[in-house]
Chain A
Amino acid sequence: MNFTIDPVGDTGIRISFNENVSSKLIYKIKMFCNYLENMGNDAIIELVPAFDSITLYYKPYVSTYKQLSTQIKQLEDIPLHKENVISRRLTIPVLYGGEWGPDLERVANQNALTVSKVIELHQKPNYLVYMLGFLPGFPYLGGLEQRLATPRLDKPRDRTPPGSIGIAYEQTGIYPLESPGGWNIIGKTPITLFDIYNKGDEFLFRAGDYVKFEEVTAKKFSSIEEKIVEKTYKLKIEEEFYE
Chain B
Amino acid sequence: MDSSPIFQVIKPGIYTTFQDMGRIGFQKYGLPVAGAMDLYAFQIGNILVGNTRNTVSLEVTLIGPKLQAMAEITVAITGANLEPEVNGQSRPMWSTFRLEKGDVLSFGKYHSGVRAYISVAGGFDVPVLFQSQSTDIRSGIGQTLDKYSTLNGFPKSEKKGVGLSKHLIPTYATSIEVAVIEGPHMSSFKSNERKEFFNKTFLVEPNSNRMGYRLSNSKKVGTIKQDIWSDAIPFGGIQVPPNGQPIILMADRQPTGGYPRIGTVISTDLPKIAQLPPKSEVSFYPISVEEAQERVIRLERELVTLGMIRKHMPSR
Q: Which residues of A contact B (CB under 8 A)?
A: 6-12, 14, 16, 21, 45-53, 55, 57, 60-61, 64-66, 131-138, 140, 176-177, 179, 194, 196, 202-203, 207
Chain B residues whose CB sits within 8 angstroms of the CB of A14 once the complex forms: 184, 231-232
User: Across the two chains, which residue of chain B brings its CB closest to A9?
Assistant: B264
CA–CA, A14 to B234, complex, Å?
11
Which of the candidate stretches B78-86, B99-107, B196-204, B285-293 sits at the interface with the other chain? B285-293
Looking at B141, B232, B296, which has the most chain A CB atoms within 10 Å of its CB?
A: B232
Do B230 and A50 touch (CB < 8 A)? yes
Which of the candidate stretches B21-29, B109-117, B164-172, B214-222 sits at the interface with the other chain? B21-29
Q: Which residues of B contact A (CB under 8 A)?
A: 24-32, 129-130, 138-141, 181, 183-184, 229-232, 234-237, 254-257, 264-268, 289-290, 292-293, 295-297, 300-301
Do B230 and A48 touch (CB < 8 A)? no
Chain B residues whose CB sits within 8 angstroms of the CB of A10 once the complex forms: 181, 264, 266-268, 289, 292-293, 295-296
Chain B residues whose CB sits within 8 angstroms of the CB of A138 once the complex forms: 30
Given the known interface contacts A9-B264, A132-B28, the answer about A55 and B231 at a Cβ–Cβ threshold of 8 Å is yes
Do A133 and B25 touch (CB < 8 A)? no
CA–CA, A179 to B257, complex, Å?
15
Looking at B25, B140, B256, B268, which has the most chain A CB atoms within 10 Å of its CB?
A: B256
Given the known interface contacts A53-B229, A132-B30, A136-B30, the answer about A8 and B184 at a Cβ–Cβ threshold of 8 Å is yes
CA–CA, A21 to B25, complex, Å?
24
Chain B residues whose CB sits within 8 angstroms of the CB of A45 once the complex forms: 24-25
User: Across the two chains, which residue of chain B brings its CB closest to A138?
Assistant: B30
Do A65 and B290 touch (CB < 8 A)? yes
Q: Give min CB distance, A63 to chain B, whole Å.
A: 10
Q: Of B28, B181, B296, which is within 8 A of A48 by CB?
A: B28
- Counting from the closest, the 10 A-B pairs by CB-CB distance are A133-B256, A9-B264, A55-B232, A48-B232, A51-B229, A10-B292, A50-B231, A7-B289, A61-B300, A60-B293
Chain B residues whose CB sits within 8 angstroms of the CB of A57 once the complex forms: 27, 232, 234
User: Across the two chains, which residue of chain A brings its CB closest to B263?
Assistant: A9
Q: Of A7, A136, A179, which is within 8 A of B29 by CB?
A: A136
Q: Of B25, B129, B234, which is within 8 A of A8 by CB?
A: B234
Chain A residues whose CB sits within 8 angstroms of the CB of B183 once the complex forms: 6-8
Q: Give min CB distance, A7 to chain B, whole Å.
A: 4
| Interface pairs (9), CB distance under 8 Å | A7-B183, A9-B181, A9-B237, A10-B268, A11-B267, A11-B296, A50-B256, A57-B232, A135-B139
